Structure 1
Amino acid sequence: MIKAGRYDFLAQDGVLFGTPCVQAVVQTVEELGARRVFLVSSRSLSRKTEVVTGIAAALGERCCGLFDECVAHVPRESVFRALEAIRAAQPDLIVTIGGGTPIDTVKMLLICLAEDLHSPAQLDVFAIRVLADGNKHVPAIRNPPVRQIVIPTTLSGAEFSNLAGCIDSKRRVKDLFTGREIGAQRVILDPAITVHTPDWLWISTGMRAIDHAAETICSRNPQPFTDATCLHGLAMLADSLRETKSDPRQMEARLNSQLAVWLCCTGLNRIEWGASHGIGHQLGAVADVPHGHTSCVMLHNVLRYNRVANKERQVLISQAMRRPDTDAGDLIEELVADLGMPTRLRDVGVRRDQFAAIAAASMQSMMVKTNPRPITGPEQILEILEEAW
């Protein structure tokens, strides 16, 4: 039987790389004809560097406001605080500067604008859900009245997806949401501003992007296009992260990492992923583990768990990392250790008494349901967590 499939490209009209971000923002704003530009950023970037003030100054009267109170893991309440500021300013373009937290905050508030939502509880209807039969339900989201352009300062890859994660604080579960136009309309990659990113955050989010690539390559439904991009991106990112670890001021290595993330993210929300992401999301929700660190501790363990189901796909990872005779899980763990990142759950503050809550929440994840080695109950999640401990 001839293989059938589908690949959806993002509603993204371009990526600018290597141009100073201030120049690139002004150029983009002029090309898009925007007159009221609202800035969203992390607090540290806004208040401890001149990056955000420099962009605001270059925009002049076109800058209509700033929100810099984004909260890690994007709790729903923080989204609505940002939404209030956006509604008051009425921008025709949002410029998001920072990592996955501000980027996902804007994605979520764009959903709220598109659907005219006014309370966190209303988001329940629009979360991606796993149905009783194991299939996923993806609610239709209207296109928002405004788009965002993104200047990323980490390597998580949120700028290259239309998927957002948001925590329901009452349930202590991270839900996923998607909409065609909630992601970046345009991405600006400027390595010079990433020197403000703490080294641990830069490197750990790089591992997050490697996780994106690995779970795309090892998907139960891989595609040739994403094989090509992700295998090259994985090799490129592993090399450039080691270079950056050795010399954090090496701009070429930092830009290569950013470009590698672009390649590693071609499967994000378009190819079925597995338990590394599915469990990782809930490590953040239950135990407040940073995104990058969840990949550092989970990916190699999930690869080992899945090896009986997709050994031949994992060999592709080993080949890309130029050691075809070494187990992919071992290579990933070695890379994490070489980069000085944590490799075990105990190293990132996860307690054994949290395992049951993590396992229960993970079973609600569509990514756990699409793991290459079927996971049918929380006891299998507990097995992986124990191995990762």
Structure 2
Amino acid sequence: MASAEAIAELSKEVLSASLEGTLAEHSTQGSHGVNYHHPYTGNDGYAFYMPTLNLIGVGSINAAGAQIAELGFKKALIVTDKVLVKVGAVEHITKVLDSIHVEYAIYDGTEPNPTDNQVDQGVAMLKEENCDFIISFGGGSPHDCAKAIGVLATNGGKIHDYEGVNKTKTAMLPVVAINTTAGTGAEITRFAIITDTSRHVKMAIIDWKVTPTIAVDDPVLMVGMPKSLTAATGMDALTHAIEAYVSTISNPVTDANALHAMKLIKTYLRDAVHEGTNLKARDMMSYAEFLAGMAFNSASLGYVHAMAHQLGGVYNLPHGVCNAVLLPVVQEYNAKAVPHLFIDIAEAFGHRDIGEDEDLAVKRVLEDIRSLSKDVGIPKNLAELGVKPEDFGLLADNAMKDACGFTNPRAPTRDEVIELFRLAYEQ
């Protein structure tokens, strides 16, 4: 085993190599693996989080039965919503469970922006039905609700006890997350976002023990998504990729995931929105949201999400729409600190004439974000969403406490957050 002195010397060599020689002649992308993207972080390396098993691609729901059977559990609590039950979508998983002789109960009380009360209802049903594992079926809301139910099933207490980073003592009850949207990444992440109904605040539970055991991303399940949901979740995925890329704790793996996710979303989101049965577009968006989830699961996020969470908590607005409206405003603010990173984002968006022109890169990226949002039908600003300027102070106060903001490349003051809300309101 190498001595501490040898390791320290190697670290110095790695840092030196990142700042001089041939790597320095590349764009920032060329040097990420040797800590050129952000300042050297020390001797602790970096972590990368993922579910144990991921089933991906057309028909992957058909492989889920054998994998669930291997877990050896007897009865599932299926966490979903009333719409997915009504349209028969949940039958995709109940038929699988019937085929492997696993019993189930269905909790369909999850709503967009799931609440602490819905989590408590799910826990009560899980105990009443003697379920020994959980299946979430849907988008981010059922996944987050299921994860929160799983936390309380093994850790006890109230979900408020676990707000923040790594607050659980015990791994949550196993969760199989079956995804029906291409956006949130919740089926693979260690994040669960739950609304505190007493404070009207979205709580961020961030904990590697809150990562699903199995994730299933089958684009066939996404073909029926309406345009508005396709657009909102797609822009959510783009926000994940960009925020993870400029995050202060990004790493070589998250960078690669984020950049390719951006490329796919820029290429295929419009087709997925306007040609909902285009299976290639659905497949590529499923792939893109998975990559973006991989990126932010380890690199975390930034002030787009920190601010969007507050809009969801106070106004119960669609999360992806809030992200899309805030994204260009916050990234213009961030670009003042890390303009060089926008060269890579511009290249991922397909621009080949940027060179090392940081100002041009920032300009093109912001134009592309706004153009994509407009083309897929995202509202122009916060005014159109009914947000009230008199709430900006409260929203800013809560955003500054949100754990997602801790890794933003700039640390804004309260007045700056209020100004970001104002800019998003008036743009």
TM-score when scaled to structure 2?
Answer: 0.83
Q: Does 1:113 align with 2:153?
A: yes
Structure 2 residue aligned with 1:77: 117
CA change 1:366–1:30 in 2 (3 A) is closer
- Post-superposition Cα deviations, 1:334-374, rounded to whole Å, max 9, x if no partner, equal 11112221231112221212212211211211233432122
Q: Does 1:359 align with 2:396?
A: yes
> Cα distance, 1:89 vs. partner?
1.8
- Post-superposition Cα deviations, 1:109-131, rounded to whole Å, max 9, x if no partner, equal 111112122xxxx3333211xxx
Structure 1 residue aligned with 2:174: 147
Identity score, percent: 26
Q: Which amino acid aligns with 2:149?
A: L
Q: Does 1:297 align with 2:361?
A: no
Structure 2 residue aligned with 1:336: 373
8 Å CA contact 2:253, 2:295 repeated in 1: no
8 Å CA contact 2:254, 2:296 repeated in 1: no
Structure 1 segment 152-163 matched on structure 2, within 5 A? 152-154=179-181, 155-163=183-191
> Cα distance, 1:22 vs. partner?
5.0
Structure 1 segment 4-153 matched on structure 2, within 5 A? 4=42, 6-10=45-49, 12-20=51-59, 23-48=62-87, 50-60=88-98, 61-117=101-157, 122-128=158-164, 138-144=166-172, 146-153=173-180
Q: How far apart are the structure 2 equivalents of 1:383 and 1:227?
A: 29
> Cα distance, 1:71 vs. partner?
2.2
Structure 2 residue aligned with 1:281: 309
- Post-superposition Cα deviations, 1:102-148, rounded to whole Å, max 9, x if no partner, equal 1000111111112122xxxx3333211xxxxxxxx64243112x311
- Post-superposition Cα deviations, 1:283-308, rounded to whole Å, max 9, x if no partner, equal 10012221110111011110111111
Structure 2 residue aligned with 1:182: 210
CA change 1:272–1:23 in 2 (3 A) is closer
What secondary structure, in the 3-state scheme, does the structure 1 residue paired with 2:208 have?
Answer: coil
Q: Does 1:168 align with 2:196?
A: yes
- Post-superposition Cα deviations, 1:198-256, rounded to whole Å, max 9, x if no partner, equal 21112211111111110111112332221111101110122111221331101111011
> Cα distance, 1:38 vs. partner?
2.4
CA change 1:54–1:263 in 2 (3 A) is closer
8 Å CA contact 1:126, 1:141 repeated in 2: no
Question: Which piece of structure 1 moves more, 62-71 or 317-326?
Answer: 317-326
Structure 1 residue aligned with 2:289: 261
CA change 1:11–1:244 in 2 (3 A) is closer
Structure 2 residue aligned with 1:384: 420
Q: Which amino acid aligns with 1:271?
A: A
Query: Unaligned stretches of 5+ in structure 2?
Result: 1-11, 16-39, 355-359
What secondary structure, in the 3-state scheme, does the structure 2 residue paired with 1:151 have?
Answer: strand
**Aligned counterpart for 2:224 among listed residues 196, 201, 214:** 196
What secondary structure, in the 3-state scheme, does the structure 1 residue paired with 2:256 have?
Answer: helix
Q: How far apart are the structure 2 equivalents of 1:55 and 1:138?
A: 31
**Aligned counterpart for 1:307 among listed residues 307, 326, 335:** 335
State how many pairs are aligned: 374
Q: How far apart are the structure 2 equivalents of 1:367 and 1:179?
A: 13
Question: Which piece of structure 1 moves more, 52-61 or 247-256?
Answer: 52-61
Structure 2 residue aligned with 1:131: none
Which structure: larger Rg? 2
8 Å CA contact 1:21, 1:151 repeated in 2: no
Q: How far apart are the structure 2 equivalents of 1:72 and 1:258?
A: 20
Moved over 6 A (4+): none
Q: How far apart are the structure 2 equivalents of 1:361 and 1:248?
A: 37
Query: Unaligned stretches of 5+ in structure 1?
Result: 129-136
8 Å CA contact 2:166, 2:207 repeated in 1: no
